[in-house]
Structure 1
C-alpha cells in the first residue's frame, strides 16, 4: 500500500472524531463527559478483544495500561478539565500544539530528525485552529491551560510510544488492549466526578453505538495502524482535521454560522497538514515498518 493510501486511511480517524461533539450534543445525555468516554472506550475494547481473542503477555500488560492511560484515559480526562475551565476554542487551540510536541518527543525517543518545515507546519496548524475556533472574548484560566497542555503531551507521548513499542500482534489487537485499559482507568474517575447516568433512550443508545463502534473501535484501529506504518510526525498533524470536521458539521447540520476567519482557518489547517507531509517527502522519508518488539 502506498504512503498516500496510508495517510488517507489514517486521516479517517480524526475526521470521524470531529463528529463527536455534534453526536454528543444531539444524541447523548448532557453533563456526563467522562462516563460517555468510558462507555465509548471500554465496550469497544472488549468487543475487539472478543474478536481478536488475543490478550497481552509479559511486558505488554504494563505497556497496554500505560498506552491506554496516555491515549485514552489521561487525554480524555484532561480534555474534560480543559473544556470545563476554558472556552472550547481556547482548549482546542492549546491542544493543537500536539504535533509540535510530537516532533520533540520523536527526536528524544525515536531519534527522528527535526525538520524546520515540519515545525513551520505545526505553528501554522495552531494558528489555523485559533482562527477556526477562538472567539474575541475568550478568557484564559491557568488550571485549564495546564490541563490542555497535559492532554496534548499525553496524546503526543502515546503516539510516539505506540510507534516505539510496536507489538507482535495486529493493529486490531493493539487497539483492543489500549481501549480496554483506557476504559477501565476511566471508570473510577467517572464514578468519582459524575452522577450516575440516567436510563438510556433510543437516541442515547444510537449515540453510544456510533461512538463505540465507529468513533472508537474503527478509528483507533486506523490511527494505530497509521502510527505503525508512518512516522509519528506525519500522523500527528492529521489530528488537526478534527476541529475542521466539527466546525463544518456544525455549519451544515446544526445551522451554525461560518465566518470568513473560520474559512481562512480551515484553509490554513488543511495547508499545514499538507505542508507537514511535504516535510516528510522533502527529506525522502518513508518510515520503515517498525520491528515488532519482543517481550
Structure 2
C-alpha cells in the first residue's frame, strides 16, 4: 500500500510554515485543527450508536469488550479501559485492551510489534475470545497488521468486530461488522496521528464505554451511582451523590454509605424505599442493577 495516499499521511496546507511562525501562531494553528475533530466525530455517530448497542448486548450476556491497537491507538484503549472499574465498578476483565508488544509497550515503543498480523490473533486467542465478545480494532491509518489480524480472528470465532480508523475505505474495515471511519484530515505535523486522529478516537471510545454503562444502569440521572468509593475523594463524591438524589444531610449519607460497605446504589435504595441493606440488594438484583426499577419494586 502507498501510505502517502492515505488522508492521515498527507501534508496539511495550513501548517507548512509552522517551523517559522511565533509560538502563539503555532498554537493557534494546532487549536484550529483540533476544533474540527468534534464535527467529524458527529458524522459517524450512527455507526457509534450501532456499536454501543452491540457492546451493551454483549456485556449484558456475559461477554467482554476488547480494544486492540498498537502505539498510540493501544494506549488510548488502555486509558479508557482502565478507568471503567473505578468509575463504574466493573470487573477489570469486562473491558480489556490488547496491545501490540504487550502492556510494556504502553510506556515504551516495541519496534515492529504492530507489523505482526498473526500476533494480533494469537493475543486474542490467549484471552479466550468467544462469540459473546466484541472486538474494536483501532488504527488511525486503517492498515496496521496487528489489529487487522485481531479482527480477522474475531470474525472467525463469531465475535462482533468493529474497526475504528481515520481513513475512508480502510483495509481494516473489510474485516469489520461495523466500520467507524472518522476522517479528521491531515495532521498539523504530517503523519503524527497522536494528534487529531488520537483525539477523535479517544472521544469515540469515551462515548462507547460511557454510553454503554449508562444503558446498563450504572448511571442515575447524570450521576455515577456505581463508582468504586476506594479513596477519600471518591467516598466524598459518593456521599454527595447520595445527598443529591435522596436529599439527606451529610451525616446520614455517610452513615448509610458505611452500612453498605461504600456501595452507592444500595445506599440510595435503602433511603428512598426505607428498607435495610439486604432488601435493597435483593431489589437491585431483581432489577438487574437499575436503581429506578429497584425503588419502584419496593415502594
TM range (shorter): under 0.3
Which structure dedicates a bigger proportion of its chain to helix?
1
Higher-RCO chain (CA-CA 8 Å, sequence separation at least 6)? 1
Which of these two proteins has the greater Rg computed from alpha carbons?
2
Which structure dedicates a bigger proportion of its chain to strand?
2
